[in-house]
Structures are given as structure tokens and as C-alpha cells.
Amino acid sequence: MIPLRQFSARGPVLLLASILSTGCTIGPKYQRPAAPAPAALKELVGNDEWKVATPSDGLLKGKWWEIFGDPELNRLEELVVANNQNIVQAEAQFREARALVMANHANYYPTIGSSPSITQNRNYAEKTSTSFSLPATVSWEPDLWGRVRLSVENASANAEVSAADLENIRLSQQALLATDYFLLAAQDMQLRVLAGTIESYAKNLQLTIDRHAGGVASKSDITLAQTQLASAKAQSTDMRVARAQDEHAIAVLIGQPPSSLEIATTLIKGPPPPIPIGVPSTLLERRPDIAASERQVAAANANIGLAEAAYYPTLTLSATPGFLANSLLNLLTYKNRSWSAGPGISETLFDFGRRKSALAGAEAAYDATVAGYRQTVLSAFQEVEDDLSSLRYLAEEAVQQQEAVVAAQEALELEILRYRAGTDSYLNVITTQIIALQDQQTAITILQRRMTSAVDLVKALGGGWDRSALPSVNKLLSTAPPTKS
């Protein structure tokens, strides 16, 4: 360590730092890649049922599940937001990504430390001397070529990816719960139909037994009626198994043990509500998976700059001010002050293609993320078109199926009258009953599929999320902990 009065190289050090501080900024300037967005959605053309929502105030916002008007669904969705463990995990991963932003941003500032020491020396005359040292170490790497800036950009983009992933997982879990809930409601409706059917089959069995006692019906008619009744009961039991499993799945989604949740019998309260559709360009701003994919492109762009920065030298400025004395009593005195300082420059001269390969790899990774982003956009538009077409054709199918239900019920009533009159066999009654039951079950299935398609459409449209909700760099650097949703 050099005493302060002996140090005389400060001028050259400051001059060198001043010259190097004018270094250039490297790395390609980021621009969001062009995405293949259509001018209009195909399934909206000539479709009077679905209208494009303008202005944007008509788009979904916030608690999108409330459009279905089901209080029990609303209650369960709130529990998903609060307790779902996949969401909790994603939120923790976002906080981890944000911590990396703060860690990289700290590289803009010097590192300050201290390493106090006590040293004893013994000479040939066996005399011992003790020296006390209280230094402070300061080192700083100026961001001459943008290494720190690029690392912060990369970490910030990755944190935004994590934030968008969190929103995507939240939306996926909410949509999955709504899907399971409507499936459970459809199963309750199926159980109600089966209960009515079992009651009718039991009455028909008794009718057949009475007719057999009167010598009108054969023993085989009784056997057929018994078989049909047992089959309907078996269907009901099997449906209860499926319902129990869906209830268990809902319990896990809301962060509860399956044994702690019991959902009362429920029904689907009508067809799906109209869902506001934005113009295609808004989809790029409202889908969290698209936002995550685009932020991955930004992170890959920063990686190219970091690979380019490896070609430039690294300057490190360091200083070690402190105190050095032979006595602890006068250690902290003016005359015993000392310090050393100086710049250090390092540069790789030959690496036999390592940096070139790293740069080529970063550029290839960037091209891959651009392609992935565009594929995500294409898939998003496919999902919207699929859900719109499903809702459109299922609405038509529901009308047609309801006509089939009415016709089958009329046919069944006529068939039973003919059987009672002795003009038709019980086999025809059974055949007509099977058709009537299947038509009712199909009608319920179509309704459930319509509700599921509506949920899928909400999810495909982003569920009311907006890209502006992504945290800015300043928010990522905030010392306040992120809000837990």
C-alpha cells in the first residue's frame, strides 16, 4: 500500500478514465418483429351474431367469468386467484426474475468492501513487529460498451416474460376451472335426466309385470324392461364417478384438498352470453402468451449485444484507501492514512473463434425466437377462429338437436300408447326410449360444449388482460415487493 503523499499517478488515471468513458454503445437496436395479423377474422364475416367491439371499452376486462352470471362460479374463480398453487409458483418465479434485474442493475455502481488485518513479523534478531491495516476496497467497471445496459435489458425482458407467463398461467387456471365447472353442471343435468328416465323405466317395468300377470305380455318383455332399468342405473352410477372426479379437480384448482370441497347440484343457466370481439390487431396486445413470446425476442436481441461486447476490452477502476500503522492506538490518525489506485484493462487477443461462435449462436437464437413469436401469433388467431366457428355451428346444432328431443319424446309417448293397446311390441318401446334418452343427453352435451367454447374464446382473447400491465423497468427496480394476486 502506498502512502498518500507518495502517490502521484492520479492525473494519468483520470485522463485514461475520461478518454475511455466516451466509448461507443454496441448491440442491435430492438424493434418488435412484424407479426402476421389478418385484417379481419374469417368467422366474423357475414355472421350477425358476433360483432366487433368498438371502442375498446366494450372488450372484456377484469373478472371475465362474471359474464356467465353464476354466483357459484364467481366464488370458485376468486378462490383460484387467491389459492391456486400453480399461480403461486409462477408469482414466485416472477419475483426471482425481478431480483435478477436488480442484481444486474447494481453493476452500474462500484463494489465497496473492507479487509482489516493484523500482521506480525519476526526478523533474524528475533524481534517481533506488528502492523495494523484497515483498508477499504473500491472497484468499478465503467459501462463503456454497454455490457451492463445490455445485461439489464436482457434481465428486464426475461422478467417481463415471467410476468406475462404468470398472467398466462392465471388465465389458464381460471379457464380450466370454468371448463370443469360447466362440465360438472352438465353432469348434474345428465343425472337429472337419468333420474327421470329411471323413474319412467321403473313404471314401464311395473306395467309390463302387470300385463304379464294378465296374460298380455311375455316373460321376455319383463326381462327386457329389467335390463333397460339396470342399464340406466349403471349409467347414473358411472356419471357420479365422473362428477366426483371433476369436483376433486376443482378442489385442487382452488388450492384445497379434494375432501374439503362439496359443490351442490347445479345447472347450466342457459346458452353462453355474447362475448365482445376486438379487431385482430388488439389480439397482439391482449394475449399474455404473445407478450411473453415477444419479450423473449427482446431478451435474445440483448444477448446479441452481449456477444458483441465480448470483442471489446474491459476497464476496471480500483482504489484501496485506508489506514496502516504499527500501533492500534494511532491507527486512525491523519499521518497513517494510505491508499492505492489504478486502472486495469483486459482484452482477449486470440480465442480461436469462441467469440465468433458465441455471436453466431446468439443471432441464431434470436431468429428462432422471432419464428416462435410469429408462430404464437398464428396459433392465437387459429384458436380465436376455431372457437368462433365452434360457437357458431354448435348454436345451429343446438336448435336442431332440440327438435330431435321434441320429436323423440312424441314418438315415445305414441309407442307407449300402442304398447298399452297391445298393437306394438315392447322391443319398439325400448328402441324409442333409447333414442329419446340419447337425444336428451346429446342436447346437454351440446350445451356444455357451447359453454366450454365460450370459455375457450375468452381465453383466446386474453381474458381481459392488456400488454400495458407488464411491469416497466422502473417498477421492476422498485424496492417494494410485487403485489401478490
Within-domain flag for 344: no
pLDDT of residue 218: 86
Residue 479 has pLDDT above 80, yes or no: no
Three-state SS at 64: helix
Average confidence (pLDDT) over 372-400: 94
Q: What DSSP string runs through 185-212?
A: HHHHHHHHHHHHHHHHHHHHHHHHHHHH
Cβ burial of 126 (10 Å; 0-12, 13-18, 19+) is exposed
Amino acid identity for residue 419 in this structure: Y
Within-domain flag for 342: no
- Residue pLDDT, tens place only, 409-455: 999 999 989 988 888 888 888 899 999 999 999 999 999 999 999 99
Distance CA 12, CA 17 (A): 9
Question: DSSP strand E in 277-414: where?
Answer: 314-325, 337-346
Mean pLDDT, the chain, rounded, equals: 85
Within-domain flag for 334: no
Instruction: State phi, psi for 3 to the nearest 5 degrees.
Output: -55, 150
Within-domain flag for 52: yes
Confidence tier at 1 by pLDDT (50, 70, 90) = very low
Helix (H) or strand (E) run with residue 383 in it: helix 354-421
Average confidence (pLDDT) over 147-161: 91
Which domain, by its residues, includes 151?
35-110+145-312+354-476
- Residue pLDDT, tens place only, 93-114: 999 999 999 998 988 888 888 7
Distance CA 260, CA 407 (A): 43
**Count of structural domains within the chain:** 1
Residue 243 has pLDDT above 50, yes or no: yes
Beta-carbon contacts of residue 376 (< 8 Å; ≥ 6 apart): 289, 290, 293
- Residue pLDDT, tens place only, 16-38: 444 444 456 788 898 999 988 88
pLDDT of residue 344: 80
**Cβ atoms within 10 Å, residue 435:** 17
Which cell is 344 given?
486495469
Going by the DSSP 8-state scheme, the letter that residue 463 receives in this structure is T
In percent, the amount of the chain with pLDDT more than 70 equals 89
Confidence tier at 274 by pLDDT (50, 70, 90) = confident
Average confidence (pLDDT) over 121-142: 76
> Is residue 171 within 8 Å of residue 380, measured between CB atoms?
no
**Cβ atoms within 10 Å, residue 417:** 11
Within-domain flag for 238: yes
Confidence tier at 123 by pLDDT (50, 70, 90) = low
Within-domain flag for 53: yes
Among 124-138, 399-413, 433-447, the minimum mean pLDDT is found in 124-138
Within-domain flag for 27: no
> Is residue 313 within 8 Å of residue 346, measured between CB atoms?
yes
**Cβ atoms within 10 Å, residue 4:** 13
Better-scored residue on pLDDT, 318 or 397:
397
Within-domain flag for 126: no
CA neighbor of 77 nearest in space, from 240, 269, 277, 255: 255
Cα-based torsion angle of the residue sequence 369, 375, 379, 380 in order, rounded to the nearest 10 degrees: 60
Better-scored residue on pLDDT, 53 or 429:
429
**Cβ atoms within 10 Å, residue 227:** 13
CATH of the domain at 106: 1.20.1600.10
**What are the residue ranges of helices labelled H in 134-146?**
none
